[in-house]
């Protein structure tokens, strides 16, 4: 059984090139090409792909919004953003809206095929360059915040780092990828943070930190 892939890219030459690359794999079948985000949503419903390669900047509806709509309607579908843009805002926007990974278009053919296979079985696709962008975004916090949280809740240095990432809206997977932790280790840190903050959920943790940082 082949992995069904939908391409969403408004540049026909690039889309045809990607289709040609993917057609070289006996395990992958391209089931459609969308030229904008709206078409991607429609084709996701009609073609029911397993994996979608989604560009970011497209007419009618961009890739971030299309990803959000597709994941809301078809959460089992895997969406990999494939774009030329490596800005942290784009990366976080896509992943926060449900994308299962983020690749740049300079990715090799072999790496692209492997990424599709890995996403299909549930892996998060974040190459080192992209993970560094997430890490850099996570570091955009002030020492004042770190000191306040450490003193108020008796957090370790690593716990403060992760707590601030939770406060900034990072998901568990983003935290693990950015800090090069296993998913289990990240969860253990987060559980410890919840215990020290006296909360039981991410939203409660964010609210508690907001109060602590604004007082």
| Per-residue pLDDT at 7 | 94
* CATH topology classification for 141-214: Arc Repressor Mutant, subunit A (1.10.10)
pLDDT in the model for residue 137: 59
Span(s) in the chain for CATH 1.10.10.10: 141-214
Nearest Cα neighbor of 77 from 31, 45, 37 is 45
Q: What's the rounded Cα separation, in Å, for the pair 42 and 58?
A: 15
- Give pLDDT tens digits along the chain (215 positions): 899 999 999 888 888 899 999 988 889 999 999 999 999 999 999 999 999 999 988 888 888 889 989 998 999 999 998 877 656 666 777 777 788 888 888 888 888 898 899 889 887 777 666 666 666 655 554 567 788 888 899 999 899 989 988 988 888 888 998 888 999 999 999 999 999 999 999 999 999 998 988 86
What is the token pair recorded at 202?
A: 């991410």
Task: Give the CATH fold of the 3-125 domain.
Answer: Rossmann fold (3.40.50)
Judge contact between 71 and 94, C-beta under 8 A.
Answer: no
Which residues in the chain are classed under CATH 3.40.50.2300?
Answer: 3-125
3-state secondary structure the chain: CCEEEEEECCCHHHHHHHHHHHHCCCCEEEEEEECCHHHHHHHHHHHCCCEEEECCCCCCCCHHHHHHHHHHHCCCCEEEEEECCCCHHHHHHHHHCCCCEEEECCCCHHHHHHHHHHHHCCCCECCHHHHHHHHHHHCCCCHHHHHHHHHHHCCCHHHHHHHHHHHCCCCHHHHHHHHCCCHHHHHHHHHHHHHHHCCCCHHHHHHHHHHHHHC
């Amino acid at each position: 059984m082949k992995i069904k892939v939908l391409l969403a890219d408004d540049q026909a030459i690039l889309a045809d090139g990607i289709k040609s690359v993917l057609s070289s794999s006996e395990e992958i079948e391209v089931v459609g090409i969308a030229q904008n985000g709206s078409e991607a949503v429609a084709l996701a419903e009609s073609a029911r792909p397993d994996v979608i390669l989604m560009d970011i900047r497209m007419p009618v509806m961009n890739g971030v919004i299309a990803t959000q709509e597709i994941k809301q309607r078809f959460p089992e579908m895997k969406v990999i953003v494939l774009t030329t843009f490596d800005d942290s805002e784009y990366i976080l926007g896509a992943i926060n809206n449900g994308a299962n990974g983020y690749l740049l278009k300079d990715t090799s053919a072999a790496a692209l095929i492997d990424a599709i296979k890995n996403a299909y079985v549930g892996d998060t696709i974040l190459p080192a360059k992209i993970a560094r962008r997430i890490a850099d975004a996570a570091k955009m916090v002030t020492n004042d915040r770190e000191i306040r949280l450490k003193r108020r809740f008796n957090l370790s240095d690593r716990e403060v780092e992760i707590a601030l990432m939770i406060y900034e809206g990072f998901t568990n997977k983003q935290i693990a990828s950015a800090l090069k932790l296993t998913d289990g280790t990240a969860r253990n840190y987060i559980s410890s943070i919840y215990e020290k903050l006296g909360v039981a959920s991410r939203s409660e943790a964010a609210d508690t930190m907001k109060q602590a940082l604004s007082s």
